[in-house]
Each structure stands twice: as structure tokens, then as C-alpha cells.
Chains A and B, each alone.
Chain A
């Protein structure tokens, strides 16, 4: 035991790379939530009346809802009136028309995070929507995308410029009454990304949103809506970071995906919110509802997530497989350490004939963390010939952490088939000794072993992100050896 124990004790020490704060003048609402706050939020965003009404309806509904307590996580009760629901960098007039008008402090922030927004240095082949606290500050590559007919803009812009599309699809996958955090988000969401890919169009580049929480005492409530029309394809990436602060901050997002006939959406997340310090102080509460609806036949939605950040994660990217032959996929790596808690997994709801789903979940726990997989596979009466394959693997580093698996299966169709495999393993002393005997640093060895464990998921990520994700795990496991 000697080797690994020592390494694990050291594993707790790691540095969060993105913990800096941007000094920028911001317009921030006083903490508190009521109908006036929502009206002000809607007004500041120049929203049409229908949007305000939609929000208020959601708010009234939310007031009657209870915070869920079934997840395998524990955190002090959140006072929703102590949170500020809007914070945005101050700017001169309206939205910046071009990147030249974006505050240089903001550009610097994103540069520091490795997301240059400037024309000259933009990430090759990846269009970025940069969301800073409550607002989208910049969107790159708008013109080439527009040429292809792809709409890629902030959700606030979409509400103003594409009201029919937004009204048709917003809340169609995750209704305001779906759950407590989705209800809250529907009432107060401040920004996020909107994507529409028209019929038959293969989106010419990767789309991405980079979420940054900066202000203290604010929640980030973003809303993302992606609609892939018949026969279209889009790959979307999402990244997130936040400064190190001693207080916990709430991030309650809703993501809705809609795939029509023969359309395909690939949604990848690298979540690296501030996880709190080694004593469990601070960090983001990441309570997120992500759901995709395969409403068309032969459509496909894939979720790939690499979750390394946040103090508490509550997140179940799901697929509702309505269309005949539609396919849902969920590939997940969730790493927890120190006092992090993650309750994450997916729901695959099979409604249509011959629908298929695949779930590959890799949970890694280190330190005193707790890591739970929670998955539901459900077959409705119409799910003739539907099938699911689930594989849940847990890897433990040290012996003070926990891994839990909660698979639920509900079937109303006898012809549906489920296969479930689960394993739990440890980074063994023998593996560590082999690596070290070959001259490899213990720290590098742990990271190599963990990366190997995650391989099936990493290969689903777009190239740039796969490299990023591997590095992120390395950083997350840094200081693992003494």
C-alpha cells in the first residue's frame, strides 16, 4: 500500500489555473429575487413582452417547487435572495458592434484563458461565443457562418432577431416546470448561446461557448438552445471556468437540443469551474439541466462531457428518443477529488421504434471526494426493438473517496433490450511500481493510468478538446505524489 497512499495524500494539493479575477467595472443587480428583478432583467435586455411573460410564468411556478434532495450530495441550504441575478461589464452604448469595441480587459481575460477572440488570433476552425457573467461579450466567425446559413449568436440576440424560432423551441425540451433549477433558470436566465443549422447544412466549423463567471455573489444562469434542422450536422463545445473565491457560487444552466429528421448534434463539454480549495471551501455549485430531443427519424444526439471542476455537480445530460431509429449517446468522464461531490449521469428515454442508446461513464474519485453515477434507461410502450448499452466504470485513487452507481431501468416494452456492465478498480500499487520502474514520474504515471481509463470517452471529443481534456486531468491530478 505504501506507494499509492503516499501519492494520494499528496494528490490533494493542486492548483486551479483559472482562479484569477478580472478587474472591470460592472453593472450588478442588488442581491434578491422577485418579479421586479425579473422585469428589470428583461428590460435591460430589451426583451419583447412575450419573453417577460414567459419568465414570470416560470418564476411563479418555481416559487411552488421544492429543491431536490435525492442526489448523493450535501451542501448548505442556498438562500436564493442572497444571490445577484445580473452582472455585466459596463459598456458605452449598446452591444459592441465589432470586437474592436469589446473592453480590452475582457479580451485579455479570454486570452489568459487560452481563448483569443481577436480576429488575428482566433482559434482556427472554432467559432466562439464568449459569455462573461450574465452577458455574451463577443461571438467570432459570425460572417462565414451566416454565409452557410447557420445562426450562431447569443440567446439575447436570438430573442430579438429570431423570435419565431426561439418561441417555437425554447422550453420545448426542458419546460419551466421540469425541475427546480430549470424553473429558476427559466425565470432568470441572462444569456447563453443560440444555434440554428438549416436543412441539409453541415456546419462548416466547430461552434463553442466559453462561460466565465467573474463577479462575486452572482449566479450564472445561462440558457443554450441548439436546433438542427433536417439532415443537418453540428458539433458544439462548451468550456467553463471561474475565479477562486471562498464563497460558493451557483451556476444553474439549461441546455436544450433539438434534432429533426436525419439531423445530428454532437455536444461536448469540458467543465472546469472552480472546485473549491483542498479543505472544501468555496467552489461552484453546478446544477445543470441538459436535454436533447431526437424528434426526427434517424436523428442522433451525442453528449460528451469531461467534468473536473465544481464543488458540487448535479447534472444528467439526457436524450429523449422520439423519432424512429434515433440514437442517443452519452460519454462521460467525471473526476472528483478533495471534497468535490458529483452526482452525474444520464437519462435515455426511448419512445420511438428501434431507437438505440449508448452510455459510457467513467468516474474517477480521489481525495475525500464522492462520485456517483445515476442513470435512467426508460422504454416507452412504442419503443419496439429499442436497445441500450450501458457501461459504468469507476476508478478509485486512494481509500478515502467513494464511488456509487445508481442505474435505473424502466421498461414498458418487452422487445427492448438493455445491457449493463459495471466495474470498479483502483490505481494499483503494482501499476504504479511498473511505471516508476520504467523511469516514469509517479505523477505522470497516475495521470497516464487515469487517461488510459478515460480513453473511450476522450476519443469522442473533437481533437483540440481531447488534448485539452487530457491536460486538464493532468492538472487536476497535479501534486498527487510526494
Chain B
């Protein structure tokens, strides 16, 4: 489904991704792990088409189609979804309005009829329950005054509504307490299906106790330095990133905790 070849990307003239190769098939869940600053968010943003990043070399294809030629919104309509590490607020725009606009943009793209307010309300209420968000959150401004955990659940709710082909989850587990982690993981597991791929970007292995990946990749210094099955994640938890010759102070402190 997704094929990344020799991807190089930079921001403000500084090269962050230095030759990424990755193949993801439908139905698979891949975890991308790595220390802070290794380029995980950059990879996620580049896949989604953030124009702040320049792709200087390599290719990305989705079902054989060149993604680099598509605008952000076109990629989204082709089924790329990014759950943001730091979801931004849009004051005054209700979550409901925002989500309905998004869902209808997708539907229009697929040649389906737009959903009216009542139909959408019903759907949105169901999905909000799935991530344990009170339906009152639908009426609030997009992420406006949401706690960290609520923002993350809101992101997963959007994934459930938009039903993407490829869901990229950028540290959706960070900043969550145990209960919220469970809710979010259940949401992600509900997303798993044979025709959908999930790219889970995470610093910690604890999420992988709830969502079992098919493959684990370690990203360091803008490159994937090791790939393996889920046992790689367990090994990382046990030995820390240092084991792979990577310096990572955060990981060391995590291990100590």
C-alpha cells in the first residue's frame, strides 16, 4: 500500500530524514520507535504533506500513486490520516462543524452524498462514546481548552469517523494515564482491519502492550537502523536504545522509572 524509498527531507535547510525505506501492506500495523529528535514526527508530517518540510530526494507512493505530487488535502482524501502529536486549537469552530466539513469533503471526493447535520450528529455521538468523550465535546471549539488526553482521544475519534486507508498515529499514547491509554488503544484496535494500515509512532513501548504491531522499526538520526517483529519492542524496553548504540537520555530515565 505505502512504499517509501530513500526518503530525504529537510526543514529550514537542515536535513532531518536521511534515506528512509519502508514498505507497509494493507492490514499491517507498523510501530516506528526511536529517541526524541530522531525524526519520527518529521516522517509523519512529510507523509501527510506538510509544506514546512522539503522533500529533497526519494519517493513515496500510495497504491502506486506518487504522493509527492498531491496537496495535503488530496492526500487526505486518498485516505491518509495523521493523528497529531500536538493537536492545534481552532477557537470558535465547533468540533461538530469541523468534523462534518471533513467527512463531507471525503464523501464528495468519493462521489457520495453529503451528510446532513442530523445524520452526522447521530454518527458523531456514537463515535465519541467509543473513545469515551462526552458528546458535549462535539459542541466545543476544535481542541479548545481540551486536556492533553482529551485532545488525543479527539484525534482517534476523527480517525474512526474518517475511516482512512493509512492511519499515522504520532505519539498518540504520550501524556495519557493508564485508563486513557486503554481507551485510545481500544480505539486504535477498532481501526485495525484487513484493508487498512496503521503506522504507530511512539517513543515508548508501553502502547505496544495494548496494540500488538506486526513490525517494529527503530528510527535514529533520520534513518531506520533496525527492523524486526514485535519482540524488537520488548528487547528495546529491556535494554533501552543504548543497546543499539544510540544515546537517549529520555529512554534511560524511562527505564529507570
Interface residues of A (CB under 8 A from B): 1-3, 428-431, 433-442, 444, 448-449, 451-456
Cβ–Cβ < 8 Å partners of B93 in chain A: 448-449, 451-452
Quick one: CB contact mask for B87-99 with A, threshold 8 Å, 1 for yes? 1101111100111
A430 to B101, CA, bound (A): 18
Tell whether, in the assembled complex, residue A441 and residue B73 are in contact, meaning their CB atoms are under 8 Å apart. Answer: yes
A2 to B48, CA, bound (A): 15
A442 to B72, CA, bound (A): 10
A444 to B72, CA, bound (A): 14
Tell whether, in the assembled complex, residue A430 and residue B88 are in contact, meaning their CB atoms are under 8 Å apart. Answer: yes
Tell whether, in the assembled complex, residue B101 and residue A444 are in contact, meaning their CB atoms are under 8 Å apart. Answer: yes
Which one of B51, B76, B92 lies within 8 Å of A439 (CB-CB)?
B76
Cβ contacts A to B, 20 pairs, < 8 Å: A428-B88, A430-B88, A434-B90, A437-B49, A437-B81, A437-B82, A438-B99, A438-B101, A438-B105, A439-B76, A440-B73, A440-B102, A448-B90, A448-B97, A448-B98, A449-B93, A451-B92, A452-B92, A452-B93, A453-B92
Tell whether, in the assembled complex, residue B52 and residue A2 are in contact, meaning their CB atoms are under 8 Å apart. Answer: yes
Which one of A1, A439, A454 lies within 8 Å of B73 (CB-CB)?
A439
A428 to B82, CA, bound (A): 18
A124 to B98, CA, bound (A): 31
Contacts A441-B105, A452-B93 given; does A436 touch B76 at CB 8 Å: yes
Tell whether, in the assembled complex, residue B88 and residue A439 are in contact, meaning their CB atoms are under 8 Å apart. Answer: no
A431 to B90, CA, bound (A): 7
Q: Is B193 an interface residue (CB 8 A)?
A: no
Report the minimal beta-carbon distance from B52 to chain A, rounded to whole angstroms: 6
A455 to B91, CA, bound (A): 9
Q: Is B129 an interface residue (CB 8 A)?
A: no
Cβ–Cβ < 8 Å partners of B82 in chain A: 437
Which one of A2, A438, A442 lies within 8 Å of B98 (CB-CB)?
A438
Contacts A437-B82, A439-B102, A448-B101 given; does A453 touch B91 at CB 8 Å: yes
A295 to B120, CA, bound (A): 48
Report the minimal beta-carbon distance from B205 to chain A, rounded to whole angstroms: 27
A441 to B97, CA, bound (A): 14
Tell whether, in the assembled complex, residue A439 and residue B90 are in contact, meaning their CB atoms are under 8 Å apart. Answer: no
Tell whether, in the assembled complex, residue A437 and residue B76 are in contact, meaning their CB atoms are under 8 Å apart. Answer: yes
A440 to B141, CA, bound (A): 17
Which one of B52, B72, B94, B142 lies within 8 Å of A437 (CB-CB)?
B72
Contacts A452-B92, A453-B92 given; does A433 touch B50 at CB 8 Å: yes
Not counting A434-B90, A435-B102, A453-B91, a sample of 18 additional A-B residue pairs whose C-beta atoms are within 8 angstroms of each other reads A430-B88, A431-B88, A431-B90, A433-B51, A433-B72, A435-B98, A437-B49, A438-B162, A439-B73, A439-B105, A444-B101, A448-B97, A449-B93, A451-B92, A451-B93, A452-B90, A452-B91, A456-B92
